[in-house]
A and B are shown apart, each in its own frame.
Chain A
C-alpha cells in the first residue's frame, strides 16, 4: 500500500461508559436465545416423577413431604445434570461456532460478553427451579393443614442450581467442544451420586455441607413446633454461591478476557468465591445438634429458638387427646389408640387425665447429627398426670412402609409402656407381662404383640434384624393369666400394685 496524505480522522467519537441499557438489551437477547428452555420440559417431567409423585403420597406435613425433595436433595439431583450440561453447551457456544475472533474484536471485553450469556443461563435455570418448586409446593400444600416452609432449604437448592450452571458454563467456555456438554452433564450425575452416597453414610463433619446430607438435620417437628433453623442452610447457600462465583471469576482471569482492571475484578471474585466455599465447609465442621436442629455457633440467632405458638385441637376418648393443629389428620388415630388404654386404667392412681402432643426434637447434645434418632417416646408425668406424646417421632401413616393400624398399635404400645415402665427401655419381666396383658385388652392380641413391639424403641430381647421378637415363655404365661382375670379383679390388682410395679419392685411371681 502506498502512503497517502489523508489525515487520521480526528472526530471525537462518543465514548460512553458501560451503558446499563446496552447490558440489559444484551441480556434480553441472550435470554431469548438460550438453550436452557429446551430441556425444561424434560426436567419438569423428571421433577414430577421423582419429586412430586413421591412427596404427594407422604403425610401432609411440610417436614415429611419435603424431606425427600429438599432433605435428601432430590430437587437438585433432578436439575443438576441437565443444567450443567446445557450451561456447558452455552459456555462453549462461541468456540463451537467459531465466533472467537468476531467477539474479541469488539469493544466489550470478552468476559463481559460471556457474563451476559452466563447470566441468561443462570436466570433460566434458577427461574425454572423456582417456578417448578412453587408449583409443587402449591400442589403439595393443598392438604397441608398447618406449618411453615423451610425457605432457606429451598434457597440452598436454588443456589445449587446456580452453582451447577456456573461450573458447567465455565467448563464449556474453557473447553469449547461439542463433547463438553455431555461430559459435564455426566460429571454432574457422578458428583450428585457421590454426594448422595456420602450424605447417606455420613453423620456430620464436612459432609454436612452437602445438599444431600439429611441425617439428623432435617425434619422432626421443624416448622410446626419450632422454626426451621437456618444455620446449616445458610452455610450451604454460602458454599454454592462461592462455587458459582469462583467458576465465573475463573473465566475472567485469562489475558484475553479483558483489561487489567477487569482481570483484577475477576481475580477478586474468584478469590472471594473460593474463600466463601472454604468458609462454608469450616462452618459446617463446627456444627452441633440442638433440640431444634443443627446449630452453627457463628451463624446462630437465638431468636430462631423461640417455639411457635399454637392452639391445640382436642378430641375426647376416655381422656382428652390434644394435638398441634398440623397433626389434626391423625387425631382420630391417636384417640383410637389412647382411648382403650385410658379406659383400662381409668381411676387408677397415676392414671393420665389428658394426652397432649409434644414436639419431636433433634438429638441435642451430640457433636454431630445422629442418624435415625428415635429416642423419643410417650411419657407420663406431672400432677395431675399427663401423657406427653412426641407424635412426630413416630412413623406416621403414609410414611414409607407405615399404615394406620400400625401407627395406632405403636401409640398403644408406647402409652401402655409409659403407664407401666417409666423409662425408655425394656422393663423387668413383671412389667413386660403387665404391658402385654394391657395391650391385649387394648386390642392387640398377645400373638401380635411381638410384631408391634418390634417397631418400638425397646424391642423384645431376642429380637433383632434377623430374629423374630418373642416373649419369654414365663412372661407370656404371666401375661395370659393377668389378661384372663375379670376386669374388676385386674383393675383392683393394678390399683394396689401399679406404683410398686412402675418402681420395678414387683417380680413375675407376684403377678396374680
Chain B
C-alpha cells in the first residue's frame, strides 16, 4: 500500500480535527470529499508529513514518516499542493517550479527538463517566464500543481486543486489526474463533486473528522437515489450520506 492509516487522530487543543481514520490506498485517483471543517486538510497535511498525528499509525510508501530518514525518502517521492498556496511574487513560473525541484533534491541533470515538462503539463508553457505576481488565481493554482508534480511523485496530495480553474483547464487537469493515477497514488481533496466523478476511481467522504463513506463514485451516486438533495447525482449521493451520518 502506498498509504496506510490506522486509527489516525489529530487534535488542535480541544478540537479533534481527525478522529480515528483508518484507510489504505494503492495507485489510483482518490477523491476526498466533505464539508468545511470535516478534517480533509488536516488529514492531507499529516499525509504530507508536515503535521504529525496525535495518535494512530501512519505509513506512507511503505515507510513510517515518524523517523527522519524514512520521512526524507517519503518526501523525495511526494508531491503536495496545500489548500492555501503560498508563493514568492518575484519568482517566475520557471524559477518557482525549479526552486521546488531543487528542494526535492532531484538529480541536477534532470531538473531543467522536469521543470519544463511540469509547466507544459499544467498549460503554462507560454507564461513560463512570467512573474507570479502577474498571474491570475487560476494560473497560480496551476503553478502549484506544477511544483507538486515536477518530481513525478509516487504519492500526490492535492488540496482543492481545481479551485479557481476555468472549465477548460479543469477538463485538462482531470485528464492529468487520471494519467498520474496510472502510476501513483493521487489523493484529491475537493468540494467539487464533478471532479470526483470525472477523475476519481475511489471516493471517501469525511464529516466531523471521521470517514462516513468510502466506495466508488457510482456507489456514492447510488446512495443518493431518491434521497439526497442536489442538482447532480453525485451531489445527491453526497448530501444523502451526510444526512444519514448526522441523523
Instruction: Give the interface of A toward B (CB within 8 A).
Output: 1-9, 13-16, 18-19, 21-22, 25-26, 29, 32-33, 93-94, 97-108, 113, 258-260
B68 → chain A closest CB, angstroms: 4
Q: Are A107 and B104 in contact (CB under 8 A)?
A: yes
A13 contacts B105, CB within 8 Å?
Answer: no
How far apart are the CA atoms of A350 and B167 in the complex, in Å?
106
Residues of B with C-beta under 8 A to A7: 26
Known: A2-B215, A29-B98, A259-B72. A105 touches B80 (CB 8 A): yes
B73 touches A102 (CB 8 A): no
- Asked whether A19 lies within 8 Å of B87 as measured between CB atoms, the reply is no
Instruction: From known contacts A8-B1, A105-B80, infer whether A97 and B26 are also in contact, taking CB-CB under 8 Å.
Output: no
Give the distance to chain A from B41, nearest Cβ to Cβ, in Å.
10
8 contacts between A and B (CB under 8 A): A3-B1, A9-B61, A13-B77, A101-B48, A102-B82, A105-B49, A106-B75, A108-B104
In contact, A93 and B27 (Cβ under 8 angstroms) = no
A32 and B96 alpha carbons, distance in the complex (Å): 12
A29 CB → nearest B CB, Å: 6
Interface string of B1-22 (1 = CB under 8 A from A): 1110000000000000000000
A389 vs B2: C-alpha distance in the bound complex, in angstroms?
Answer: 87
Q: Which has the most chain A C-beta neighbours within 10 Å: B27, B98, B99? A: B99
Instruction: Return the chain B residue nearest A1 by Cβ.
Output: B23
Tell me whether A107 and B27 are in contact in the complex, defined as CB-CB below 8 angstroms, given that A25-B108, A102-B82 are known contacts: no
Residue of B nearest to A262 (CB): B68
A residues less than 8 Å from B175 (CB atoms): none
User: A5: which B residues are within 8 A, CB to CB?
Assistant: 26
A197 to chain B, nearest CB (A): 39
Does B215 contact A101, Cβ atoms closer than 8 Å? Answer: no
Main secondary structure of the interface of A (DSSP, over half): loop
Query: Complex formed: what's the CA distance from A98 to B105 in Å?
Result: 21
Known: A4-B27, A15-B73, A105-B80. A29 touches B99 (CB 8 A): yes
Please measure, in the bound complex, the distance between the C-alpha atom of A2 and the C-alpha atom of B216, giving whole angstroms. Answer: 9
* Set B86, B104, B106: member contacting A94, Cβ < 8 A: B86
Residues of B within 8 A of A104 (CB): 49-50
* Contact present for A29 and B102 (CB under 8 Å): yes
Given known A-B contacts A8-B61, A101-B80, A21 and B108 have beta carbons under 8 A apart: yes
Task: Judge whether B111 and A25 touch: CB under 8 Å.
Answer: yes
Residue B62 interfacial (CB < 8 Å): yes
A28 to B24, CA, bound (A): 41
Q: Is the CB of A4 within 8 A of B25?
A: yes
Compute how far the CA of A21 lies from the CA of B107 in the bound complex, rounded to whole angstroms: 9
Return the 10 tightest CB-CB contacts between A and B, nearest first: A98-B86, A6-B26, A4-B26, A106-B103, A259-B68, A99-B86, A107-B105, A21-B108, A97-B86, A1-B23
Q: How far is the CA of A94 from the CA of B48 in the complex (A)?
A: 18
Contact B104 A9 (CB under 8 A): no
B55 to chain A, nearest CB (A): 19
The chain B residue sitting closest to A15, CB to CB, is B76
Q: Is the CB of B27 within 8 A of A102?
A: no
Q: Is B189 an interface residue (CB 8 A)?
A: no
Once bound together, how far apart are the Cα atoms of A21 and B154, in whole Å? 25
Contacts of B103 in A (CB 8 A): 26, 103, 106-108, 113
What are the residues of chain B within 8 A of A26 when measuring CB–CB? 99, 102-103
CA distance A259 to B87 in the complex (A): 25
Q: Report whether B27 and A6 are in contact in the complex, using a CB–CB cutoff of 8 Å.
A: yes
Interface residues of B in 68-127 (CB under 8 A from A): 68-69, 72-73, 75-78, 80, 82, 84-88, 90-91, 95, 98-100, 102-108, 111
